[in-house]
Amino acid sequence: MLLSPNITPVGFAAIGRMLGVAPPTSGTPASVAMNPASLDTLADQQARFRVEGSGPVGGRSLVPISTGARELLEESPAARDVLSGVLALIEHAAGGAEASAGVVLNGIALASSVEGHAANTYAAHLADDPELGRSPSGAQLAQLASDSSGDAPATKALVTSGWLNVGVDVAGALLAARGAPVGGATSVTHAALAVRVLRHEAQHLVDTSSPGLTPAGTHGFHEALAEAHSTHLEQLQDARGMLALDAAVPDEALRSSLTTRPYPQHERTLAQALKAAGIEPTSADAAALLARPASQIGVALAEGIARSEGTTVEQARADLSRAFGTDGRAH
Ligand SMILES: [Zn+2]
């Protein structure tokens, strides 16, 4: 689940790019009520690390930029290994060191509370949202605070403004599994879900190319692709290895994590699109196609559908956009 797609008049278009995996909750979670005045303090209490350097993601530096980050490292040096594992996972998701050189990753934030997760979203926008600017007005800050807090209780992790913001349960499970102190969940079940969630989010980070659909369709398309890369056991086993959690998370727990499906309709739409393009969704051809960037997949699907259905590529693109953009709720 994502923070609500509040495309506000003040230009927070990036808020709509927040991406995340929701837990299997029912109903609408309560919002976290916060205001700009409290968010800076709260964000400083979270473990926020800026990622510096260029080139392969695995070789970049993690610089603690908050009191929470410095305290975490003091209490548990193992936390740095956890974060290095996340960098390794992102590099792996990109297709290796060389392929990861172009990935934009501004930072990683580990939340120690639901409110902290919302504060991290707020802070990521203030620091790195190109559409927000350096001197936001009071009204903009208030709107951003509201947008940041909306679905925070339900969001396991999200990517926004080039930041990987990890919610309290995933962060807690991840740290606990490596022997670091935690504020959130500690079970094997949560550790397995952390593997799944981080593999999903890594896909958002490594492939931001446009499939050539409308904005509403693009979002659903990217969620379907992130799921396509994080819903097979082999993918999760690879991710588990990158995170150095082989000993902590058994295969059975990984299998169980696959019952968490926050985007079933987008997954179905992708399968239908593949079929319409003449590609069996479970085939090797489909796997090969889905391993390519979103832009190429979008083109291939539109062309395939146009051929199969005797229509134009433009019409196929419009149909795809509508199909991916009409999920029951806008995430
Ligand atoms: Zn997502």
pLDDT tens digits, one per residue of 236-262: 999 999 999 999 999 999 999 999 899
pLDDT of residue 159: 94
pLDDT of residue 257: 95
Cβ(107)–Cβ(65) below 8 Å: yes
CA 16 to ligand 1 centroid distance, Å: 12
Q: In the chain, what's the furthest Cα-to-Cα distance? A: 63
CA 215 to ligand 1 centroid distance, Å: 15
CA 194 to ligand 1 centroid distance, Å: 13
- Please check the confidence at residue 12 and state whether its pLDDT lies above 50: no
pLDDT of residue 138: 85
Cβ(20)–Cβ(201) below 8 Å: yes
How many helices (H) and strands (E) the chain has is answered by 14, 6
Q: Tokens 């009204």 belong to which residue? A: 139
Sign of the four-CA dihedral 24, 203, 109, 148: negative
CA 47 to ligand 1 centroid distance, Å: 22
CA distance 70 to 47: 7
- Please check the confidence at residue 31 and state whether its pLDDT lies above 60: no
CA distance 278 to 313: 15
pLDDT of residue 309: 93
pLDDT of residue 140: 84
How high does pLDDT run on average in the chain? Answer: 87
CA 266 to ligand 1 centroid distance, Å: 11
**Where residue 331 falls among pLDDT bands split at 50, 70, 90?**
very low
CA 44 to ligand 1 centroid distance, Å: 26
Annotate 212-242 with DSSP letters as a single string.
SS-HHHHHHHHHHHHHHTTSSHHHHHHHHHH
pLDDT of residue 318: 95
**Cα–chain-centroid distance for residue 146?**
20
CA 166 to ligand 1 centroid distance, Å: 12
**Model pLDDT for residues 53-106, shown as the tens digit of each residue:** 999 999 999 999 999 999 999 999 889 999 999 999 999 999 999 999 999 999
CA 21 to ligand 1 centroid distance, Å: 5
**Other CB atoms closer than 10 Å to residue 135's CB: what's the count?**
6
CA 227 to ligand 1 centroid distance, Å: 8
Q: In this predicted model, which residue has the larger pLDDT, 13 or 257?
A: 257
- Please check the confidence at residue 7 and state whether its pLDDT lies above 50: no
Question: Is 300 buried (19+), middle (13-18) or exposed (0-12) by CB count in 10 A?
Answer: middle
CA distance 301 to 309: 12
Tokens of 74: 């003091």
- Cα of first residue to Cα of last residue in the chain, in angstroms, is 6
**Where residue 15 falls among pLDDT bands split at 50, 70, 90?**
very low
**Model pLDDT for residues 105-156, shown as the tens digit of each residue:** 999 999 999 999 999 999 999 999 877 776 788 888 888 888 888 777 778 9
Q: How many residues does the chain have?
A: 331
CA 59 to ligand 1 centroid distance, Å: 25
CA 201 to ligand 1 centroid distance, Å: 6
CA 75 to ligand 1 centroid distance, Å: 31
CA 248 to ligand 1 centroid distance, Å: 25
- Name beta bridge partners: 166: 110, 157
**Model pLDDT for residues 204-240, shown as the tens digit of each residue:** 999 999 999 998 899 999 999 999 999 999 999 999 9
pLDDT of residue 29: 45
Give the H or E element holding residue 61.
strand 61-64
Tokens of 251: 């295969």
- Please check the confidence at residue 27 and state whether its pLDDT lies above 60: no
CA 135 to ligand 1 centroid distance, Å: 29
